[in-house]
Copies of this chain bind each other. A is one copy, B any other.
Amino acid sequence: MARISFSRVLPALAVVCSVLSFPVLAEHPNLVITRQSVADMRSAISQPGRFTDAFEALQQQVDKTMSMPVTVPVPKDGGGGYTHERHKKNYQQMYNAGLVYQLSEDKKYADYVGSMLVAYAELYPTLNVHPKRKENAQNPGKLFWQSLNEAMWLVYTIQAYDMVYDALAEDKRRMIESQLLKPVALFLSEGQPSTFNKVHNHGTWATAGVGMAGYVMDEPEWVEKALLDLDKSGKGGFLKQLDKLFSPQGYYNEGPYYQRFALLPFVTFAKAIENNDPERHIFAHRDGVLLKAIDTTIQLSYNGLFFPLNDAIKSKGIDTIELVHGVTVAYGLTEDPGLLDIAQQQDRIILSGDGLKVANALDKGLAEPYEFKSVAYGDGSDGTQGALVVMRGQQEIEQAVVFKPASQGLGHGHFDKLTWQFYDKGAEIVSDYGAARFLNVEAKYGGRYLPENETYAKQTVAHNTVVVDEASHFNGNVKTGNANAPKLHFFETSEKGSIARASINTAYQDVSLDRTMALINLPGMNQSLLLDIFSVDADQPHQLDLPLHYKGQLIETSFELQASTQTLHTVSDKNGYQHLWLTGQGMPERGLAKVSWLNDNGRFYTQTSLANADENFLFTQLGAGDPNYNLRQESGFIRRVSQANKHQFVSVLEPHGEYNPSEEYTLNASSQLNALSIEQKDSLTLVSLTFAGQDFVVAINSEQASVPVTFTLQHSSYTARQHLEVFAVGNHQE
Contacts and interface: CB of A to CB of B under 8 A. Distances in A.
Contact of A666 (B320, B441, B578, B584): B441
A151 B347 CA distance: 50
A315 B662 contact: yes
Given A443-B670, A567-B567, A625-B565, A320 B662 contact: yes
Interface stretch (A31-39, A246-254, A550-558): A550-558
A661 interface: yes
Given A567-B567, A627-B563, A670 B442 contact: yes
Interface string A597-617: 010000000000000000000
B624 A441 contact: no
A42 interface: no
B566 A623 contact: no
Interface in A619-642: 619, 621, 623-629, 632-633, 635
A568 B581 contact: yes
B627 A659 contact: no
Contact of A85 (B598, B626, B629, B665): B665
A443 B596 contact: yes
A386 interface: no
A667 B85 CA distance: 8
Nearest to A442: B669
Interface string A509-531: 00000000000000000000000
Contact of A669 (B441, B626, B661): B441
Nearest to A635: B633
Interface in A299-351: 313, 315-317, 319-321
Contacts of A623: 583, 621
Contacts of A319: 662
A447 interface: yes
A440 interface: yes
A661 B316 CA distance: 7
- The CB with the most chain B CB atoms within 10 A, among A88, A619, A629, A667, is that of A629
Given A568-B567, A569-B567, A659-B438, A556 B443 contact: yes
A624 B584 CA distance: 11
A12 to B, nearest CB: 44
A570 interface: yes
A390 B567 CA distance: 39
A555 B88 contact: no
A626 to B, nearest CB: 7
A569 B581 CA distance: 12
A439 interface: yes
A80 interface: yes
A106 interface: no
A422 B247 CA distance: 50
A601 B141 CA distance: 32
A667 B181 CA distance: 29
Interface in A441-476: 441-444, 447
A88 B454 CA distance: 53
B569 A569 contact: no
B621 A633 contact: yes
A664 interface: yes
A629 B565 CA distance: 10
B566 A666 contact: no
B632 A553 contact: yes
A555 B444 contact: yes
Nearest to A314: B661
A632 B552 CA distance: 9
Contacts of A315: 661-662
A439 B569 contact: no
Contacts of A570: 566-567
A563 B579 CA distance: 13
Contacts of A632: 553
A80 B320 contact: no
Contact of A316 (B567, B578, B598, B662): B662
Contacts of A583: 623, 629
A670 B619 CA distance: 36
Nearest to A439: B661
Contact of A80 (B444, B563, B666): B666
B598 A441 contact: yes
B443 A669 contact: yes
Nearest to A435: B661
Nearest to A317: B662
B624 A566 contact: yes
B565 A626 contact: yes
18 contacts: A80-B669, A85-B666, A313-B661, A316-B662, A320-B662, A321-B663, A439-B661, A439-B664, A440-B665, A441-B659, A443-B596, A565-B625, A566-B570, A567-B567, A567-B570, A568-B581, A568-B624, A584-B629
Given A442-B670, A443-B596, A566-B570, 15 more contacts: A80-B669, A319-B662, A321-B663, A438-B598, A440-B661, A440-B669, A441-B669, A443-B556, A443-B670, A447-B666, A553-B629, A561-B627, A565-B624, A568-B581, A583-B629
Interface of A: 80, 85, 88, 313, 315-317, 319-321, 438-444, 447, 553-556, 561, 563, 565-570, 578, 581, 583-584, 596, 598, 619, 621, 623-629, 632-633, 635, 659, 661-667, 669-670
Instruction: Enumerate the 8 nearest inter-chain pairs by beta-carbon distance, A residue then B residue, closest first.
Output: A440-B666, A554-B629, A568-B568, A443-B556, A439-B661, A563-B627, A315-B662, A313-B661
